[in-house]
A = this chain, B = another copy of it.
């Protein structure tokens, strides 16, 4: 196995001027939630698996008792209307653990998508605020000034000096290293508290991405997940409240 190992399932799909969309685990798991939601909604086909020696040495266990070595997975989808574009999508279990691993991984991913004709990259992620937010906005950063205007039209926002620390990880590196290759790139970051997985933020990201891709997705599944998470978050707070109350009662008695 190479350091980064890519295996095709069946033969490589032939795509026409495809857009590449990445959503890997990260803050609030926003990017991964969003990417998985598109893949399921449009029924994209898996065509390649990527393993890497910079992923943890780990297998996951499927519900049927079989195992799966941690990986990243590539999917494709062919445009069905005139105003749509072919897509390559990437999601997975992990990003690289080390700096060097991240660079190596992103280079191999760019090699693959560039070979398949990609000239535009959209990377999806979360922007951790550290506090709760009712209506998450979608921050944006791009490789080209022309894309800034375009993305504003689609509802993404740009804030001076935000994120202050830049973008760390695959979402940043894909468009950063892509830019060095002459590829256009956009990173969409949904605002999120960052404590829990955040389907509400993923929904906000997809609202922008739907305009980019001219694909209409039902987001009700994400809304449902968002409500579940809210319910759980609420319960967690109640339990915390109760345990505080009880410990105060105990003090009173004791």
User: Which residues of A line the B interface, CB within 8 A?
Assistant: 1, 3, 7, 51, 53-61, 63-70, 96-97, 99-104, 106-107, 140-145, 148, 158, 160-163, 165-170, 172-173, 175-177, 179-180, 185, 187
Contacts and interface: CB of A to CB of B under 8 A. Distances in A.
A229 B249 CA distance: 41
Contact of A56 (B99, B143, B162): B99
B64 A145 contact: yes
A55 to B, nearest CB: 7
Nearest to A176: B69
B54 A100 contact: yes
A45 to B, nearest CB: 20
Contacts of A54: 99-100
Nearest first, the 9 A-B pairs at minimum CB distance are: A69-B176, A57-B102, A53-B103, A59-B176, A59-B172, A65-B158, A60-B166, A65-B148, A53-B100
A117 to B, nearest CB: 21
B175 A59 contact: yes
A101 B163 CA distance: 27
A180 B7 contact: yes
Contacts of A176: 58-59, 67-70
A180 B2 CA distance: 13
Given A65-B145, A180-B51, A172 B57 contact: yes
Given A61-B162, A61-B163, A170-B57, A180 B1 contact: yes
Nearest to A144: B66
12 contacts: A1-B103, A54-B99, A57-B170, A57-B173, A61-B141, A61-B162, A63-B160, A64-B145, A67-B179, A69-B177, A70-B166, A100-B101
A58 B59 CA distance: 28
A123 to B, nearest CB: 10
A59 B166 contact: yes
Nearest to A148: B65
